[in-house]
Structure 1
Amino acid sequence: MITGTGIHSALGRSTREVAMNLYKGKCGLHHDECRDKYNSDLCGNVPSWKAECLDILTHAQYECMPAHGFYVLDAVFEALKKAKVSKEFLENHNVSLIVSNDSECYESKFVVSHVKKNISNRRLPVTTLFRSLNSTISMNLATILGIHGLSLTVSAACAGGGHAIGLAKMLLDSKQTEMVIVIGAQETTSNYCMEAFDALGVFSPDKVQPFGKGRNGLAPSGGAACIILEPSDSLRLKEEKVHSFASLSGYGFSTNGKAITTPDSYQEEVSMLNAIENAGLDEGMIDVVLAHATGTPMGDEAEAKAIENIFPICPNVVATKGMTGHECWMAGVSQAVQAVIMFTYGRLFHAAATEENAFPHLNLVMRPKYYSPHHVLCNAFGFGGTNSSFIISKA
């Protein structure tokens, strides 16, 4: 069961704020003058993190935290508050932590610049190591929250958030933990973190149009998203009268095994079908697909073909990255939060930035729509051909 959600993104600093802006069709992208050397300076306009999160950190914890770790704290503490999880519970129970994170470019750049400037690393702060490791978020949070279960970071490019959710499900299904805090984190404060990505030439110069005829690329974005997962028979849910927002019912995966950047429609089908089977459902029971849909010509085409092949009657297809941008390592967890929002408010988001649907057989939601879904299939695909799909169902 999903008992808590939290998010800090280009569309707001809480689940409710993000929900309202998604329904309004607000665009969270802007042209960043700090990226003037990029092929495209279009990216997510992520607001600053809340200063309150500093109150719970010691000086050492603050110094060990990477720049985007403070966005993570915002999302995590919102989710824990909604789930009514106390610090005492975290410290005295088998709670696990799984984080999707795949870069620490800003911190690595700091190390390189320092060494070049000072010729040696003798004056480099000792806390730099803990900020620059890829597992920095999970190792920092484990100590801040007092975690005693599994703590690790999943590094799987833009599919990482989906795989983190899937691994959490496996952990709970095997009864090896009582609760899993799943986090997607994407650094946002650095103009270094997307330099290599920009070299691919896949960033849109002006507008992101998921599944649109005029689509010409994605826009990077970031922040952090979090969901709290607990088993449905948890005593805590009954004793504390904790509300369940939705359930994680299925997870599937596949790998293309081909080119490192070229999507494979067939293997995307396999990933989705595996998730549907794992949930004990059939294709006709999926009424919403929350698509990966980054706005790239090849990526959107492959996913559209996969969806059309699986569903004889296409369900509602929701594509939000024209508003949020592509949140990369946090994208899968962000989608889980978006799915919960759709269940909570009984409305579907629309492809606000898409001017014309390029795929007539794809039932793309083009206008805000009142609809109460039962099963939402979410896709998160990444470089290296790694595919993740998961299903969020009505509680």
Structure 2
Amino acid sequence: MSRSSTEFHAAVTGLGLVTPAGVGVEHAWRTVLAAEPAAAADPALEGMRVDFSCRVPGFDADEQLGRRTAWRLDRSTQLAIVALREALHDSGLDPSVWDGARVAVVLGNALGGVQTYELQQREFDSAGAGAVSPLLVPMCAPNMTAGHLAMECGAGGPNLVTATACASGTTAIGTARELLRSDRCDVVITGGTEAPLGRTMIAGFDRMGALSRRTENPRAASRPFDVDRDGFVAAEGAAVLVLERDTDARARGARVHGMISGYGASADAHHATAPDPSGAAVERAVRSALQDAGLSAADIDHVNAHGTSTKVNDVTESRAIRRVFDDHVAVTSTKGVMGHALGAAGAIEAVCSVLALRDGVVPPTANLDSLDPEVEVDVVAKAPRSGTFRAAVSNSFGFGGQNAVLVVTPA
């Protein structure tokens, strides 16, 4: 595998994770490698048909951010700011001295501040309009998470939120890379965040038949590619990556975790919630990302699959992977551990893809006891797989037929 002078590689110089697998990149990564499922009974969902989720363990926003700051922010923004702080520290960049006008923020988010909205709707119903918080709109508007990240670190460049459903985080990272390539900025803070675990939203997903109903054993509920899967487990979380041009990062002596080297996107144009069973648009997005990276399918050794643990998605995706890569790639889904964090999922999985190449290890797919015979790809299970992995693909798909794919290469 060689690199062409016409290709563009965005260096990943900072990583931050706040996930159900743990707070902090190394903590979460150890949990993912150990395939320890995070799903558990959720007191906030008590009495519902689906009463479990994947929450960030022990997350105390008052402790992390200070009470005066935390009370003004939806949980999705709280998670993102904590991930941002870790990523900035990891990058070695100092916001007090950088040229903020050349720093952009591009964050993925599917639903906005739905927990805030749900809480304020209850206030309205019980006590009338006068009980609604004047902070309702700035707390639940989807764009505000990116706005607050900019305020946190003085990033005065382009400020965007991408909303492509469960592909949002991946779309954000691909968009961030394009801002660097077009010289609109020198640093991009990117990733995704989501905090969807309110009762109304969970009821909506349940009514669609999208969620696992394995209430007797939540830890075993998220089981991507397993023959007995019955739906995804809703999760919250945030991931932030700091991206720079490869040349700029190396010139300042930064530690580079890996590269975002390709991006592809497509639309199924098929159905509001169901993927096109042919997987044609998924395949098109993967091939577009490979072309953008200047790589062939033979150069890819690992695929971090969207792998939701739903009946239709897992088969459709596996068929597309098989058509592009045959069976030579090591496939995994980290949703077996962390559940499905919707707009944050792709960003979390991009971080895991970077770490897999950095450490030479593909994490196992948790709860994969018996591979669905319709899934004809090499899914890693039971234990991590070590090796030399030259490049990885990270897939994300969402309602509305949104498909987004990243190609990750080593530093």
Conserved in 1, the CA contact under 8 Å of 2:224 and 2:309?
A: yes
Query: Per the alignment, in what secondary structure is the counterpart of residue 175 of structure 2?
Result: helix
Structure 1 residues 191-223: Cα deviation after superposition (integer angstroms, max 9, x where no partner): 344222221112112222111111111101111
Conserved in 2, the CA contact under 8 Å of 1:213 and 1:357?
A: yes
CA distance in structure 1 between the partners assigned to 2:283 and 2:71 by the alignment:
44
Conserved in 2, the CA contact under 8 Å of 1:245 and 1:340?
A: yes
Shift of the 210–189 alpha-carbon distance from structure 1 to 2, 3 Å rule, reads closer
Corresponding position of 1:301: 315
Corresponding position of 2:231: 217
* One-letter amino acid matched to 2:246: S
Instruction: Please list every run of 5 or more consecutive structure 2 residues that lacks an aligned counterpart in the other structure.
Output: 1-10, 215-220
CA distance in structure 1 between the partners assigned to 2:201 and 2:327 by the alignment:
40
Structure 1 residue 263 corresponds to structure 2 residue 275: yes
1:245 to 248, 257, 267: 257
Shift of the 92–168 alpha-carbon distance from structure 1 to 2, 3 Å rule, reads closer
Structure 1 residue 117 corresponds to structure 2 residue 126: yes
Conserved in 1, the CA contact under 8 Å of 2:212 and 2:230?
A: yes
Corresponding position of 1:2: 12
1:380 to 377, 380, 396: 396
Structure 1 residue 203 corresponds to structure 2 residue 211: yes
Aligned residues between the structures: 389
Measure how far apart 1:326 and its partner are: 0.8
Q: Which segments of structure 1 move beyond 4 Å, counting only runs of 4 or more?
A: none
Once the two structures are superposed, the pairs formed by residues 187-202 of structure 1 within 5 Å of their partners are 187=195, 190-202=198-210
Query: Per the alignment, in what secondary structure is the counterpart of residue 199 of structure 1?
Result: helix
Once the two structures are superposed, the pairs formed by residues 1-395 of structure 1 within 5 Å of their partners are 1-49=11-59, 51=62, 53-54=64-65, 59=68, 61-90=69-98, 92-103=100-111, 104-121=113-130, 123-187=131-195, 190-206=198-214, 207-234=221-248, 237-239=250-252, 241-264=253-276, 265-358=279-372, 359=374, 361-366=376-381, 367-395=383-411
* One-letter amino acid matched to 2:370: E
Structure 1 residues 30-88: Cα deviation after superposition (integer angstroms, max 9, x where no partner): 12243234332231032133555425x9x4x5443112322112211111001012121
Measure how far apart 1:224 and its partner are: 0.8
Structure 1 residues 234-272: Cα deviation after superposition (integer angstroms, max 9, x where no partner): 1x5423x21000000000010011111121211110111
CA distance in structure 2 between the partners assigned to 1:371 and 1:52 by the alignment:
40
CA distance in structure 1 between the partners assigned to 2:55 and 2:133 by the alignment:
30
TM (normalized to structure 2)?
A: 0.90
Query: Per the alignment, in what secondary structure is the counterpart of residue 211 of structure 1?
Result: coil
Query: Per the alignment, in what secondary structure is the counterpart of residue 64 of structure 1?
Result: coil
Conserved in 1, the CA contact under 8 Å of 2:267 and 2:401?
A: yes
Conserved in 2, the CA contact under 8 Å of 1:66 and 1:136?
A: no
